[in-house]
Amino acid sequence: MATLQDFINQAWNDHGTDAAGVALRLPLGLEAVGDEAGLTALARLAFHVYGLHLGRWADALKFNAALARGPGYRADGDSGVLLRRQRTALALAAAEGDARDTLDTAGRVAATAMAAELLGLHDAARSQSLLDDAVAAERAAALPDDNPAVRALAVAGNNVSGALEDLPARSAGQALLMVNAALVGRDAWARAGTWLEAERAEYRVASSYLTAGDATRAAAHARACLALVDAQPEPQPFERFYGCELLARALRAAGDTAGQAQALVQARQALAALPADDQAACQATLDAAAA
């Protein structure tokens, strides 16, 4: 195997189309863990693949236990905090007990958000309920923006909405969760992330609304995404391109052909400012938006 980081990067690249195949490879990563940073990176990958994509709570718990026995684990360090929150979230998702009271306030918020993430593809009603609980608990605790629990909310919202968008079809409950989770992620990234994370979260909201069939709100959030891009001191043609092509798709769905044409002009201008390799990759996206 290559380095652990290479292994993890490849797994992240592959998991969206072959989660089961990535799960089969995950135990190989245990042999390459040598420090706490590597352990936590592998733990996050395994939690996401076993949990969100496959719903294999027992396998995820076994992997978590194996990590806790391996090199790099520190019960009083970041790895200890992460693995305890993961175990709590996995048990909660599997309806095998609620150990949130054993965690501090930030830990309870994070574990609740993580459980909502795990259930996103498997039980929309429970996922929505847990996401609502996490948001309410975070607000009641008035956690500072830099608290890791706020970032956990951001990650959970983004991951749930993205996974539901990728489905070929969604129930009404899944569509509602998709949009609500995107909004939770957007609000949390605005507090916990960089401008880029906040902008991409706004893009996610627009995309989720469009997928749910609300073209008017999709267009409004695509414009909000572009406003964040344009507020930066340095041009960001890659971000601008995707904001414009999404706006074009939303306006087409809304029946605004003149607005779609204008957004396509702006997308082509952003495309021309990209490196040649990126232009080639983005051209198919632009063609679809212009269809």
Tell me: the pLDDT tens digits for 123-165?
999 999 999 999 999 999 999 999 999 999 999 999 999 999 9
Q: Residue 291 belongs to what domain range?
A: 213-291
Residues 56 and 32 in one domain: yes
Are 26 and 91 part of one and the same domain? yes
80 domain-assigned: yes
**pLDDT tens digits along 230-280:** 999 998 999 999 999 999 999 999 999 999 999 999 999 999 999 988 898
d(CA 181, CA 34): 35
Give residue-wise pLDDT tens across range 166-206.
999 999 999 999 999 999 999 999 999 999 999 999 999 99
Asked whether residue 91 falls in the same domain as residue 109, the answer is: no
Among the candidates 100, 129, 160, a domain finishes at 100
Domain check: are 218 and 256 in the same one?
yes
Domain count, the chain: 3
State the Cα–Cα distance between residues 172 and 175, nearest whole angstrom: 5
- Residue 71 maps to a domain: yes
Residue 206 is assigned to a structural domain of this protein: no
Q: How high is the pLDDT of residue 235?
A: 86
Residue 199 belongs to a domain: no
- Kindly indicate the confidence band of residue 104, based on its pLDDT and cuts at 50, 70 and 90: very high
- Asked if the structure places residue 208 within a domain, the reply is no
Instruction: Give yes or no: residues 166 and 154 share one domain.
Output: yes
Q: Which of 193, 228, 256 is the last residue of a domain?
A: 193
235-244: long-range pairs with CB below 8 Å, 24+: 235/273, 237/270, 237/271, 237/273, 237/274, 238/270, 238/274, 238/278, 239/196, 239/199, 239/200, 240/266, 240/270, 241/267, 241/270, 241/271, 241/274, 241/282, 241/286, 242/203, 242/285, 243/199, 243/203, 244/270
pTM over 0.85: yes
Residue 201: inside a domain, yes or no? Answer: no
Q: Which of 71, 100, 129 is the last residue of a domain?
A: 100
Cα 218 to Cα 183: distance, rounded to the nearest angstrom: 12
- Confirm whether 131 is domain-assigned: yes
Q: Could you tell me if 92 and 108 lie in one domain?
A: no
* Domain presence at residue 203: no
Secondary structure of residue 167 in the 3-state scheme: coil
Q: Are residues 90 and 9 in the same domain?
A: yes
Share of the chain above pLDDT 90, in %: 92
